[in-house]
Structure 1
Amino acid sequence: MKILAVISQKGGVGKTTLATALAVAAEQDGKSVALFDLDPQASACFWADRRKATGKGETPVVRDVNFNRLPHVLEAMRSGGADLVILDCPPQQRDIADAALSAADMVLIPTRAEALDIRAMTQTVRLTQQMGKRASVVLTFCPPTGAEIEQAREIVAQLKSDLVPVSIHLRKAYARAQQDGQAAQEYEPTSKAAAEIQSLYKYSAIALYGETQHGKAKTKSRRTP
């Protein structure tokens, strides 16, 4: 079982949007997936409620998890045969961040290419490094043009962290899909938003599971936990 933590010390950078979309992408790839909502605001749980209410299904499994119980719940998922657990973490909660980082096999840090967001991203990267983990930074809400994107990329390089080679742009499909309990690739399967999520998922799967074979990461499919 692999654990992916989606984390940032600042809100409004798209953590839950990416966590839910990646959970759906992993399930579409045949994996047994669980999404743990560690945020007291419970945005991922709200997404799951909307998903059930609109008839989109009972999976991916989304659970409201107290960080103090995280090791125990993860062990139960491991025993149950889960392939992937995604941790949707809240901003500005050092104790929750420490618990998530301790467990994570991969750390994904979303950030806007704006001054306050970059400052928070820098803090999150350093916290990740202090925990002995390597950070993967993904730029979110990217505008079509602007020097800010290139400046953000240079800062990520200076921090000696990994820059995800796909940017998540400001697209209506993301927000509309969330409101309906879907991921962008479900809401508009042929859209640019869907392509971005699939590229981000491919990057994450390779980072988590190793090199690809015939274009797909080497994984095993199991029943949904």
Structure 2
Amino acid sequence: MKILAITSQKGGVGKTTIATALAVAAEQAGKSVALFDLDPQASACFWSDRRRKELGEAGGTPTVRDIQIARLPSYLEAMREAGADLVILDCPPVHRDIAHDAASAADLILIPTKPEVFDIRAMQQTVAAAQQVGKPAVVVLTFCPPSGPEAEQARDIVRKQGADLASVSLHQRKAYGRAQMQGLAPQEFEPNGKAADECRELYNAITLQLYGGQHGKKGQSRKRA
């Protein structure tokens, strides 16, 4: 079982959007996956509630659980015993103790950031925190404008910081917000759209980081937390 923590010291950078999109992508790839919502705002749980309302019984997957950080080790062990392939941790901003404990449990830390000055500053702090716990970190740029120098400038800063940079960036696209409001991922809301392509590319990049050449088990029955 692999554990992916999605974290940033700053809010509004797309953590839950990415977490839900990657969870759906993992299920579509045949993996047994759970999404643990560690954020007191419980945005991922809200997404899951909307999903059940929109999709009915089919909205019960992927599994989303509201988890208190003190109970995280027990829930992770339960998922490991159940044979899960992947657990995604949706971490809150600001709460450094929660982020630290989640990062310590993770195999990989994904750090979303907008290509803006205050977000970049927060990203640098999050990368430093990941480096302190000795875990690999990947930065993904989010809400990138369609033109302008900001995204490339942000990439230069990430490289100088010593963190890996995801090969795909997520852009400002309406499909992200519209999918979230329906409890969907962009791949489901607009399968042939650009947002869906970005999510699939990000999932493939993260899978390569987590599993190397082994893309996990496919065609198995999905297990629930």
Question: Is the TM value for this pair above 0.5?
Answer: yes
Q: Offset at 1:224?
A: 2.2
Partner residue, 2:75: 73
Partner residue, 1:9: 9
Partner residue, 2:128: 126
Runs of 5+ consecutive residues of structure 2 not aligned to the other structure? none
Partner residue, 1:224: 223
Say if 2:140 is the partner of 1:138. yes
Q: Offset at 1:223?
A: 2.5
**Contact 1:209–1:219 under 8 Å retained in 2:** no
2:16 & 2:177 partners in 1: Cα distance?
11
Partner residue, 2:155: 153
1:95 & 1:75 partners in 2: Cα distance?
20
Q: Offset at 1:57?
A: 1.5
- Number of aligned residue pairs: give it: 221
1:66 & 1:100 partners in 2: Cα distance?
11
Provide TM-score, normalisation by structure 2.
0.96
Partner residue, 1:82: 84
Runs of 4+ in 1 over 6 A off after TM superposition: none
Q: Secondary structure at the match of 2:204?
A: helix
Runs of 5+ consecutive residues of structure 1 not aligned to the other structure? none
**Contact 2:111–2:137 under 8 Å retained in 1:** yes
Q: Offset at 1:211?
A: 1.6
**Contact 1:81–1:222 under 8 Å retained in 2:** no
| 2:62 aligned residue (54, 60, 66) | 60
**Contact 2:7–2:112 under 8 Å retained in 1:** yes
Partner residue, 1:206: 208
Say if 2:50 is the partner of 1:50. yes
Q: Offset at 1:17?
A: 0.1
**Contact 2:107–2:136 under 8 Å retained in 1:** no
**Contact 1:6–1:19 under 8 Å retained in 2:** yes
| 2:165 aligned residue (144, 150, 163) | 163
Percent identity reads 65
| 1:188 aligned residue (187, 190, 196) | 190
1:152 & 1:134 partners in 2: Cα distance?
19
Amino acid across the alignment from 2:119: D
**Contact 1:83–1:222 under 8 Å retained in 2:** no
Q: Offset at 1:222?
A: 4.5
Partner residue, 1:107: 109
Provide TM-score, normalisation by structure 1.
0.96
